[in-house]
C-alpha cells in the first residue's frame, strides 16, 4: 500500500499575502462596480464595457431593484465587507496571532460571502435574467478567499473551528483598543450610509405644469413642450426600460428649461413578446404592452403625462400593479382603466406605433427621431446643441 506523504506547508507569509491580495482584488472589484452603478444612473452617455448582450449586461444588473440593499448599493456593501475582511487579515498577521488566530472567523466570513454570491447568482438567473461579468468575477474572488482561508487552516491546524472562533473573539477583545481604532471609522461610514446615502438612482421627472403646453399630434401621439417648436424630438420607449426612463427624465428637464423651443412627442414601443412585438423572440419586459395601453387610455381622458410619469416610477421587475391605486394617483376612471387592455382602439394605437418604429429600422429602446434621423439608445449632444445654445 502506497504511503501518502505529508504536505510540507510553505512559509506562513506566502498564505497570508495570498489571502490579502485576493481580498484586495475583491475590494477593487467592488469599487469598480460601485463606480459603474453610479455612472449607469447619473450619466446618460455611459455604457459599461461588459454590456455586451441582453444576457451578459452589467448595466441591466445595476438597473435592477436588487442592486440596492437597505438603501445602499450592493457593491458599496461589498466595499465595506472587504474592508472588514482586510482589517481582520491585518490582525491575523500579527505576532500575537501565532499563525492560527482570526482564521476561523475569516473562514465563516468568507463562507458568508460565498453564500451571498449564490443568492445574487440566483437572482440574476431567475429575476433579472442577465449576468454581470464583474459580479461573476466577485463570486470567483469570494470562492478563492474561502479556499485560501481553508488552506491556511489546513497548513497550520487547530482543533475545533467553533472553539477557534471563541478564541478569535477572546484574542480580538484582548486587542480591543487597536480593533477599535481600525474598525471605528468604518463603522461610522456604515452608519452614515444607512442614514444618509444619496438616492442617486431615483430619477425625478419634472411635474406636469400648466405653464408648459401639452397636446396631441395629428396622428394621435401625446406631446409636451413648445406650441411652435424649433426642434421636435420623437421618442419610442418602453415603460419597463431603464434607459428609457433615464433619457426621458433628461429630455423632460430640457423641455422644462426650453418650453418655447423644444417639443417632445411620445410613441410606444413595448419590448413585450406577449404583446406581439416581432423583434422580441423570447419573454422579455412581460407586461410592458399593458402599461402602454394604460398610458394610451389615460391620453383618452387627457391625463397622459400624469400616467406616463407614474408608469416610469413603477420598480423594474414588479410582478403586479395595484390598478386602483394607479387610477387614484393619476385621476383616471378605475373601471375603464381595468378594461383598457380589451379596447381594440387602444391596442391599435400602440401597435401602430410599434409598426412605425420597425419601419424606421428601430430594433430596441429607447430610440429617437430628430429631423428625420433615427438615433438608438442615446441622442448625440450635437443633435440638440444648436437649439440649446
Least confident span in 162-176, 219-233, 304-318: 304-318
Q: Answer positive or negative: Cα dihedral of 374, 379, 382, 388.
A: positive
What are φ and ψ of residue 265, in 5° steps? -105, 135
Q: pLDDT tens digit string along 95-139?
A: 888 889 999 999 999 999 999 999 999 998 888 878 889 999 999
Band (245; pLDDT cuts 50, 70, 90):
confident
C-alpha–C-alpha distance, residues 235 and 24, integer Å = 44
The DSSP output letter for 278 is T
Domains of the chain: 12-196 (1.20.1440.130), 213-388 (3.40.30.10)
Rounded mean pLDDT of 48-70?
Answer: 83
pLDDT of residue 1: 45
Q: Calculate mean pLDDT across residues 18-30.
A: 96
Q: What is the DSSP string of 31-84?
A: HHHHHHHHHHHH-TT---TT--SSSB-HHHHHHSGGGEETTEEHHHHHHHHHHH
Residue with cell 495570498: 18
* Mean model confidence pLDDT for the chain: 88
Backbone angles phi, psi at 120, to 5 degrees: -65, -35
Q: Does the pLDDT value for residue 4 go beyond 80?
A: no
Dihedral sign computed on CA atoms, order 160, 165, 168, 169: negative
Each residue's pLDDT tens digit, 64-100: 888 999 999 999 999 999 999 999 999 999 988 888 9
pLDDT band at 195, cuts 50/70/90? very high
Predicted confidence at residue 201, as pLDDT, reads 83
In the three-class reduction of DSSP (H, G, I as helix; E, B as strand; rest coil), residue 381 is classed as coil
Asked if residue 183 has pLDDT above 50, the reply is yes
Give me the percent of the chain exceeding a pLDDT of 90: 53
Residue owning grid cell 426612463 = 245
pLDDT band at 46 (very low <50, low <70, confident <90, very high): confident
Query: Is it the case that residue 151 has pLDDT exceeding 90?
Result: yes
* pTM listed for this prediction: 0.77
Evaluate if residue 26 carries a pLDDT over 90: yes
Amino acid at each position: 500500500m502506497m504511503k501518502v506523504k505529508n504536505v510540507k506547508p510553505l512559509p506562513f507569509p506566502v498564505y497570508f499575502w495570498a489571502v490579502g491580495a485576493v481580498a484586495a482584488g475583491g475590494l477593487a472589484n467592488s469599487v469598480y462596480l460601485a463606480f459603474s452603478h453610479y455612472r449607469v444612473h447619473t450619466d446618460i452617455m455611459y455604457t459599461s464595457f461588459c454590456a455586451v448582450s441582453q444576457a451578459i449586461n452589467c448595466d441591466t444588473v445595476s438597473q435592477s431593484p436588487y442592486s440596492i440593499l437597505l438603501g445602499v448599493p450592493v457593491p458599496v456593501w461589498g466595499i465595506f465587507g472587504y474592508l472588514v475582511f482586510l482589517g481582520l487579515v491585518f490582525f491575523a498577521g500579527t505576532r500575537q496571532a501565532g499563525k492560527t488566530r482570526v482564521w476561523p472567523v475569516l473562514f465563516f466570513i468568507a463562507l458568508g460571502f460565498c453564500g451571498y454570491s449564490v443568492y445574487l447568482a440566483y437572482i440574476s438567473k431567475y429575476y433579472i435574467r442577465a449576468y454581470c461579468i464583474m459580479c461573476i468575477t466577485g463570486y470567483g474572488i469570494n470562492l478563492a478567499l474561502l479556499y485560501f482561508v481553508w488552506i491556511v487552516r489546513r497548513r497550520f491546524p487547530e482543533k475545533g473551528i467553533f472553539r477557534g472562533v471563541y478564541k478569535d473573539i477572546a484574542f480580538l477583545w484582548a486587542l480591543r483598543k487597536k480593533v477599535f481604532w481600525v474598525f471605528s471609522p468604518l463603522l461610522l461610514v456604515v452608519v452614515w450610509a444607512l442614514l444618509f446615502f444619496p438616492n442617486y438612482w431615483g430619477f425625478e421627472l419634472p411635474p406636469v405644469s400648466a405653464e408648459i403646453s401639452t397636446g396631441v399630434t395629428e396622428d394621435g401621439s401625446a406631446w409636451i413642450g413648445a406650441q411652435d417648436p424649433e426642434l421636435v424630438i420623437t421618442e419610442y420607449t418602453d415603460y419597463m426600460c431603464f434607459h428609457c426612463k433615464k433619457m426621458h427624465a433628461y429630455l423632460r428637464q430640457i423641455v422644462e428649461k426650453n418650453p418655447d423651443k423644444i417639443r417632445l412627442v411620445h410613441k410606444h414601443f413595448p419590448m413585450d413578446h406577449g404583446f406581439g412585438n416581432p423583434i422580441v423572440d423570447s419573454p422579455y419586459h412581460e407586461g410592458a404592452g399593458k402599461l402602454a395601453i394604460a398610458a394610451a387610455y389615460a391620453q383618452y381622458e387627457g391625463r397622459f403625462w400624469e400616467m406616463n410619469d407614474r408608469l416610469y416610477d413603477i420598480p423594474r421587475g414588479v410582478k403586479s400593479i395595484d390598478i386602483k391605486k394607479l387610477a387614484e394617483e393619476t385621476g383616471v376612471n378605475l373601471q375603464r382603466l381595468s378594461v383598457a387592455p380589451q379596447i381594440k382602439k387602444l391596442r391599435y394605437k400602440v401597435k401602430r406605433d410599434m409598426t412605425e418604429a420597425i419601419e424606421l429600422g428601430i430594433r430596441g429602446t429607447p430610440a429617437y427621431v430628430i429631423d428625420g434621423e433615427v438615433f438608438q439608445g442615446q441622442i448625440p449632444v450635437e443633435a440638440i446643441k444648436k437649439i440649446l445654445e
